[in-house]
Amino acid sequence: MRGFYIGRFQPYHNGHHHMVEEIADEVDEIVLGIGSAGDSHTRRNPFTAGERVMMVTKALGDLDVTTYVVPIEDLERNSVWVSHVQSMSPKFDVAYSNNPLVVRLFEEAGVEVRSSPMFRREVLEGSELRQRMIRGDGWKGLVPDEVAGTIEEIDGVDRIRQVASSDANGANDGVPTDRDAAPDPE
Amino acid sequence: MRGFYIGRFQPYHNGHHHMVEEIADEVDEIVLGIGSAGDSHTRRNPFTAGERVMMVTKALGDLDVTTYVVPIEDLERNSVWVSHVQSMSPKFDVAYSNNPLVVRLFEEAGVEVRSSPMFRREVLEGSELRQRMIRGDGWKGLVPDEVAGTIEEIDGVDRIRQVASSDANGANDGVPTDRDAAPDPE
Amino acid sequence: MRGFYIGRFQPYHNGHHHMVEEIADEVDEIVLGIGSAGDSHTRRNPFTAGERVMMVTKALGDLDVTTYVVPIEDLERNSVWVSHVQSMSPKFDVAYSNNPLVVRLFEEAGVEVRSSPMFRREVLEGSELRQRMIRGDGWKGLVPDEVAGTIEEIDGVDRIRQVASSDANGANDGVPTDRDAAPDPE
Amino acid sequence: MRGFYIGRFQPYHNGHHHMVEEIADEVDEIVLGIGSAGDSHTRRNPFTAGERVMMVTKALGDLDVTTYVVPIEDLERNSVWVSHVQSMSPKFDVAYSNNPLVVRLFEEAGVEVRSSPMFRREVLEGSELRQRMIRGDGWKGLVPDEVAGTIEEIDGVDRIRQVASSDANGANDGVPTDRDAAPDPE
Amino acid sequence: MRGFYIGRFQPYHNGHHHMVEEIADEVDEIVLGIGSAGDSHTRRNPFTAGERVMMVTKALGDLDVTTYVVPIEDLERNSVWVSHVQSMSPKFDVAYSNNPLVVRLFEEAGVEVRSSPMFRREVLEGSELRQRMIRGDGWKGLVPDEVAGTIEEIDGVDRIRQVASSDANGANDGVPTDRDAAPDPE
Amino acid sequence: MRGFYIGRFQPYHNGHHHMVEEIADEVDEIVLGIGSAGDSHTRRNPFTAGERVMMVTKALGDLDVTTYVVPIEDLERNSVWVSHVQSMSPKFDVAYSNNPLVVRLFEEAGVEVRSSPMFRREVLEGSELRQRMIRGDGWKGLVPDEVAGTIEEIDGVDRIRQVASSDANGANDGVPTDRDAAPDPE
């Protein structure tokens, strides 16, 4: 029995981690899909796929079940998204998500989906965490120790602050950086 | 004499249909281009290209002129968009549109364009129709019978409600689903 | 009951047409998928998707069953190809193909596939037909009348001869034009 | 010593030009990268890459240093953007930018970056210039003469006004045209 | 100290495995990049990225060093390939490869590369292994037990035989299936 | 009067240069399009677009007419190729080519094309030149001095030899590197 759990993990935090622990009680193996794998260096997606692979893998070190961590690049086509995920992941029996679109796409493809109120918490924390990093507030208590270590190693807080300032100072002519995958000089 | 008429047809409704009937008086054959063919499962683009092909083809069943229904995937390049459309469509002599950008692109490419006040109506109805589906208000009177039948067959109202809730509940971290072609879990 | 039949239709010929007639006996509606829709102007893929849509639609004019003709652009990913086809086509119950790869992909996706010895004939005729056009041999007897008419209207024989010469005169530095989607000057 | 300076140059104006003159004092050769080269025909990106190449090249005619003008298409991947730029440009020793994201990406790739308060001015003028064109206010004094000439030759003011009206009249169903690379009829 | 080792792993075999064991003596952590991650269902690339992730992860179960297994989709641009790899992988200090192009690209990007005669063996075995599967000869002795188990679980031998026959029977009109990412019916 | 002349310029050699001089007699301004701009580091396309921009620009230094040098990335769609070229280039009145496919595409788009027997020579020299570089034979006499200088500066001969060996030693499993845009380890 193998479960699939997708997130952007920008960064991987305690909300995600509790969710994974809950899933670990229900399945033999877990696949963690790193969504929007091609995005990085924006306020909303500060970390590369590789950096997120490292965070997640290290944080899962103690877990008893076998885990796979696979980056999933966006295909920009909702109708083929499930097939794309399936091709990048070891075959799975159940998907875990609370996102209505993700749930719908898996269900239309005939994949069993399980939702949980815990997902809600994890969603809120992602945005809050990045805000704290930008403002300089405390955030390390909200993520596993291994994640905090990785973010420090890659100078992550400095990066998110710098790219966030692209929005704030108007340098991008009013278009939020998070929409632009490429730098947007005038 | 062949005319080209493009729309997203999300869904195909009476405004579109009256427009097609008007065009049918002026040309021998009509090509209907299904725009943003790769988009689906969002609040703004709930239906796949194939579902829209079916809606349109069935609704046009009684029309006297020969019709072609061709999906047109986005190329993300305004400057080559006319060539792209021309390569996917039987050769046409005149394009029908009221969208200033579409009009401009066809004109710069030397294609005759005809506009009509009727287009305005059709535009307004698309957004209104989807709102009604989401809110549970009446909408079947605004579309040809064949379209209502197709939407029921594919469980379309349930789908648009579910994907629309991705926006409403904040699960996407503030980014409207319609901007994201791929599911966007935190 | 709806059947799906894919081909490149470069051009649509009698082998295809007999196949469609056979399928028409088994289903209520037929979807014809125009494969490699983005390819054109090569020895192997001389005609645009739009030109092929016109050929096929006109040749099917007398058929009793409802037909849909949909261009299918290549996605370059075998693992998501079936989902892509399904998103571009009205929902279908059975796929017709004799191509082992197509058969395999549909089967792995749980779609019923029917094969027929007639497919073999159609395959051979495509290549033979294009050779005859290039060499100036007779070819009109091998295609429906409407197809011959369309090819003349678009000056098709002249085109295939001209692009075929890109290979023959070495202008492409030894790389066959059919591999190159973009012109390949030295 | 070669310097790289990227901008969208929609259009190239006096703010850019002063910046280039300042850079010319520091380097032997200048590469001007035309960013978002694939975008055109929107309110924010009205001109094609080719039109911008022409504007910039003509405006730089009197400059003493050797200049290269290279279109840079968006790759939609921040993490490979520097490599992409480097592959399209003659090798450069220093990059000039005031955009925090651009600065960050070059620095992470080990490229020296120089910023200047002058960049700020150039940013503000781009948006203001396009507004003036749309409203019919004076704008020619803000750009080099050669740029004004090019914009007239390509009927540029008429174009930006027409595409800008796609937003204003609601024809795009609420989605600003600048986000849509493809025309967006309902 | 982290090492990066890329292969297509179609499938992962003893030659790869011995190489990994040798690398494990030199580094603290190993990243295995699954190349051409988007390719599958061809004679040359029969297995999906997800299937290869499973093979490799299971075969590495006993290894003492920390391992990461990351799919790397092709970007079709040699000049940005190293950046792409770096964005998908945890940061690495040395790359292992014997492929002259891979070596060149890493070296031009300033990454240390180590080669080994053992790579040669691994290369030859991949092609030989797939031939044996197609012909029905013995192959299980050439791969780790976990790989043989995975291939059986996914019915891999049957798949490679079926897609290989697309070439052999001419159904693809002379173009080898391995070149075509999309099915290629006539 | 502006002329457009496209080539891959791998590298720019005397055959190209004589052609440009001939064109310079007929037009006021010349646009040189650098084809397959995204390709590099292969036996057939060893140099990046940026390196080729530098070669061509330097070699054209003495020319009396205004010249523009623009990289043209492949779009993989013959039917939109002319529009793509037109969007990347200053507007031109006549295209120069001897490649039958290029000629055909421009003619179908209504662009005047001029051919010349000199093109033939240029084609042969490209392949011959690269062979000489690989074999270590003399080649500098076949290119303008500025091109020889640029190739030395970027260590070009060493690069083409190294990537060419990817083919020769079988490391790519029988698929020539020139077909693979991404490195292809087994």
Prediction pTM value: 0.92
Provide Rg for chain C, Cα atoms: 17
What the block records as the tokens of F108 is 């179908």
Q: Residues 6 or more apart from B133 whose CB is under 8 A from it?
A: B139, B156, B157, B160, B161
Separation CA B31–CA B90 (nearest Å): 7
Separation CA F107–CA F113 (nearest Å): 7
Mean pLDDT along residues E32-54: 97
| pLDDT tens for each residue of F113-129 | 998 766 556 556 889 99
pLDDT at E125: 81
Which backbone phi and psi does C68 adopt, to 5 degrees? -120, 140
Mean pLDDT along residues C90-105: 94
| pLDDT tens for each residue of C34-68 | 999 999 999 999 999 999 999 999 999 888 899 99
- Is a pLDDT exceeding 80 seen at residue C18? yes
Separation CA B136–CA B132 (nearest Å): 6
- Element (H or E) spanning D104, and its range? helix D100-108
| pLDDT tens for each residue of C126-137 | 899 999 999 999
Nearest to A101 among B48, B170, B183 (CB): B183
Task: Answer whether C51's CB lies under 8 Å from C150's CB.
Answer: yes
pLDDT at B121: 61
The CATH code of the domain at C1-186 is 3.40.50.620
Task: Answer whether F8's CB lies under 8 Å from F40's CB.
Answer: no
Helix (H, G, I), strand (E, B) or coil at A139: coil
Strands (E) in chain B, as ranges, are 2-7, 29-34, 66-71, 94-96, 112-114
Which backbone phi and psi does B96 adopt, to 5 degrees? -110, 125
Best E31, E57, E65 residue to mutate vs chain A (most A CBs within 10 Å): E57
pLDDT at F170: 43
Q: Residues 6 or more apart from F64 whose CB is under 8 A from it?
A: F24
Separation CA D32–CA D7 (nearest Å): 8
Chains that touch F (3 or more CB pairs under 8 A): B, C, D, E
| pLDDT tens for each residue of B119-153 | 556 556 889 999 999 999 999 999 999 999 999 99
| pLDDT tens for each residue of A143-155 | 999 999 999 999 9
Chain F positions touching chain E (beta carbons under 8 Å):
38-42, 48, 159, 162-163, 165-166, 169-175, 177, 179, 181-186
ipTM: 0.90
C/E interface, count of CB pairs below 8 Å: 87
Q: What is the DSSP string of A31-71?
A: EEEESSTT--SSSSS-S-HHHHHHHHHHHTTT-SSEEEEEE
Q: Do B162 and A36 touch (CB under 8 A)?
A: no
Letter for the amino acid at E163? V
Q: Do C183 and F122 touch (CB under 8 A)?
A: no
Q: What CA–CA distances, in Å, run from D112 to D86, F54, F175?
A: 13, 21, 39
Q: For chain F, which residues make up each domain, given as ranges? A: 1-186
Q: Do E7 and F186 touch (CB under 8 A)?
A: yes
Nearest to D100 among A40, A162, A173 (CB): A162
pLDDT at F62: 81
Tell me the helix, strand and coil percentages in chain F, rounded to 5: 45, 15, 40
Largest interatomic CA distance in chain D: 52
- Is a pLDDT exceeding 50 seen at residue B180? no
Q: What CA–CA distances, in Å, run from E178 to C77, E44, E183, F69, F144?
A: 12, 6, 10, 36, 40
| pLDDT tens for each residue of E70-117 | 999 999 899 999 999 999 999 999 999 988 999 999 999 999 999 876
pLDDT at B186: 72
Nearest to B185 among A78, A97, A178 (CB): A97
pLDDT at E98: 85
What the block records as the tokens of B41 is 């499962």
Q: Do A183 and D102 touch (CB under 8 A)?
A: yes
pLDDT at D173: 37
Q: Do F78 and C184 touch (CB under 8 A)?
A: no
Helices C14-24 and C118-135 cross at an angle (nearest 10°) of 150
Chain D positions touching chain F (beta carbons under 8 Å):
37-38, 40, 48-51, 53-54, 57, 66, 68-71, 73, 86-91, 154
pLDDT at B173: 37
pLDDT at D115: 87
Mode of pairing for the β-strands spanning B2-7 and A112-114 = unpaired
Q: Nearest-CA neighbor of B171 among A143, A11, A179, A126?
A: A126
